[in-house]
């Protein structure tokens, strides 16, 4: 795979790999155990300039591309899935504000890149998840302000965020054509954060509900066109699904490496278990599917960097990678026998962390719907 990557991409990848091995991986068990936002690790990523990896230089970024962002994500998630998840949020927020925002919004980008401004995105609601267009949160116009009312659920970084991109109905009767994106500073009166969610895995990301109780923001905080945010969110998914795919890929890679190390070391029936064909076949299937997933992701990222539409490719990459990561991390745990079920071994955490990747950024049922629609368009 390396041979297809540019010299610059490999340099950034090597920086991320060093950071992942020296700083991220050693902190992973602590982050999982404490379940507190790891500000120190977050800052370490920011200090390496990694949050601006895909952002153009004129906007303060590194000036690389989606492919490099995916490569970096794989490295970080190989060290810790949760830190990989944390890495995605500022990368995507800076790109989102640069693509869709005005100079008023872009003022937040330097802080996001240096880790001092923590962003979050609030689309999902307690009663409306996959059906984004059915959201109930409203933003009504009063003079030169919007007044936001409603509750958002599962906001990653919700507990610690300084700014939140809130998706709300500015025209409640217009379905998906009535949704706008409004940047809300969390120190505004009426922003009420719920308690942190108690999750199976991916600890340390400070997810919570946020209620917006008649929160007033200036009209200038509208990001992109009024009523135009559904399209923006869907376009954003193209990139974010590649990031989530790369995150699952990094975790699958870590699972395979652990499985190989364990199978080489552990002896049963007089030989290392790696020498039993049943184990070899599980590991061979891991290697095959990890390679295939990497190709799907890199192919889609290259198309994205060429400005091509990638709804189909992003959905395929997300669906294939997250399903295969779940399967093979489960097999890596199986190869560890009883030890795989113990917190002593990293594979137990990988097993819990990777499960989320099939649920968010559009569940894998939603990815199948997207793919089926594209197949219908192409072949029916
Ligand atoms: C840890 C975590 C972090 C998150 N972070 C954020 C965040 O930062 N910001 C944010 O806005 N959201 C976030 N989310 C929310 C996430 O995007 C949603 O959970 C996800 O989109 C699914 O929505 P839901 O949970 O309401 O499930 P539902 O939409 O209620 O779906 C339930 C089940 O029904 C299936 N289903 C739904 N519709 C269909 C259909 N038409 N056909 C077939 N099957 C269907 C789904 O696939 C799923 O299996 C996060 C979630 C979690 C768990």
257 is catalytic: no
| C-alpha of residue 364 to centroid of ligand 1, in Å | 10
Does the global pTM surpass 0.95?
yes
**CA 359 to ligand 1 centroid distance, Å:** 6
Q: Token digits for 169?
A: 């109905």
Q: Region 330-354: what's the mean pLDDT?
A: 98
Residue 25 scores a pLDDT above 70: yes
The whole-angstrom separation of Cα 128 and Cα 142 is 26
pLDDT of 194 over the 80 cut: yes
Q: Within 6 Å (CB) of ligand 1, which residues are found?
A: 121-124, 129-130, 154-156, 199, 202, 207, 356, 359-360, 363, 365-366
Mean pLDDT calculated for residue range 181-191? 98
pLDDT band, residue 4 (cuts 50/70/90): confident
Each residue of 284-327: pLDDT tens digit? 999 999 999 999 999 999 999 999 999 999 999 999 999 999 99
Does residue 1 register a pLDDT over 70? no
Give the Å distance between the CA of 365 and the centre of ligand 1.
10
| pLDDT mean over 344-363 | 98
Q: Per the structure block, which two tokens stand in for 59?
A: 């906007």
- Whether residue 21 is predicted with pLDDT greater than 70 in this model: the reply is yes
Domain boundaries, the chain: 2-114, 119-227, 230-379
Residue pair 123/135 in contact by the 8 Å Cβ criterion = yes
At the second CATH level, the architecture of 2-114 is: Orthogonal Bundle (1.10)
The pLDDT of residue 47 is above 90: yes
Distance CA 36, CA 172 (A): 37
- The answer, yes or no, to whether residue 2 has pLDDT greater than 80, is no
| CATH fold for domain 119-227 | Butyryl-CoA Dehydrogenase, subunit A; domain 2 (2.40.110)
CATH for the stretch 230-379:
1.20.140.10
What would the mean pLDDT of 256-261 be, rounded to a whole number? 98
Q: Which residue's CA is the nearest one to ligand 1's atom 14?
A: 154
Statement: residue 13 has pLDDT above 90: yes
Q: Is the dihedral of CA 141, 232, 154, 118 positive or negative?
A: negative
Closest residue CA from atom 19 of ligand 1: 360
Q: Which of 267, 376, 259 is nearest to 328 (CA)?
A: 259
pLDDT on residue 235: 92
Average pLDDT of every residue of the chain: 97
Helix-helix angle 311-335:364-379, to 10 degrees: 140
Q: Looking at 47, 57, 361, 376, which residue is catalytic?
A: 361
Res. 169: pLDDT tops 90:
yes
Band the pLDDT of 374: cuts 50, 70, 90: very high
């Amino acid at each position: 795979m390396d041979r297809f990557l540019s010299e610059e991409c490999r340099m950034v990848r090597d920086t991320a790999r060093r950071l992942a091995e020296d700083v991220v991986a050693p902190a992973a068990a602590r982050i999982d155990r404490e379940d507190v936002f790891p500000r120190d690790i977050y800052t370490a990523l920011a200090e390496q300039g990694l949050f601006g990896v895909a952002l153009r230089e004129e906007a303060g970024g590194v000036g690389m591309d989606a492919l490099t962002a995916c490569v970096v994500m794989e490295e970080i998630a190989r060290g810790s899935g949760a830190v990989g998840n944390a890495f995605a949020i500022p990368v995507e927020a800076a790109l989102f504000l640069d693509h869709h925002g005005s100079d008023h919004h872009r003022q937040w980008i330097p802080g996001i890149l240096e880790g001092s401004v923590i962003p979050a995105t609030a689309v999902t609601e307690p009663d409306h998840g996959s059906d984004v267009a059915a959201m109930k949160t409203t933003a009504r116009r009063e003079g030169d302000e919007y007044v936001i009312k409603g509750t958002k659920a599962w906001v990653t970084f919700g507990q610690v965020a300084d700014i939140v991109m809130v998706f709300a109905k500015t025209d409640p009767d217009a379905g998906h054509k009535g949704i706008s994106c409004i940047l809300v500073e969390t120190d505004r009166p009426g922003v009420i954060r719920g308690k942190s969610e108690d999750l199976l895995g991916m600890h340390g990301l400070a997810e919570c509900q946020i209620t917006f109780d008649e929160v007033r923001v200036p009209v200038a905080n509208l990001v992109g066109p009024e009523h135009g945010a559904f399209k923006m969110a869907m376009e954003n998914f193209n990139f974010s699904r590649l990031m989530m795919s790369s995150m699952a890929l990094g975790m699958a890679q870590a699972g395979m490496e652990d499985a190989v190390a364990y199978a080489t070391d552990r002896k049963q029936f007089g030989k290392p278990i790696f020498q039993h064909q049943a184990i070899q076949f599980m590991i061979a299937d891991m290697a095959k599917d990890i390679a295939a997933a990497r190709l799907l992701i890199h192919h889609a990222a290259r198309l994205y960097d060429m400005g091509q539409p990638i709804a189909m490719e992003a959905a395929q990459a997300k669906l294939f990678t997250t399903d295969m990561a779940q399967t093979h991390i489960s097999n890596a745990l199986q190869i560890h026998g009883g030890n795989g079920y113990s917190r002593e071994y990293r594979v137990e955490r990988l097993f819990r962390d990777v499960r989320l990747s099939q649920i968010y950024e559009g569940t894998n049922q939603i990815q199948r719907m997207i793919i089926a629609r594209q197949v219908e368009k192409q072949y029916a």
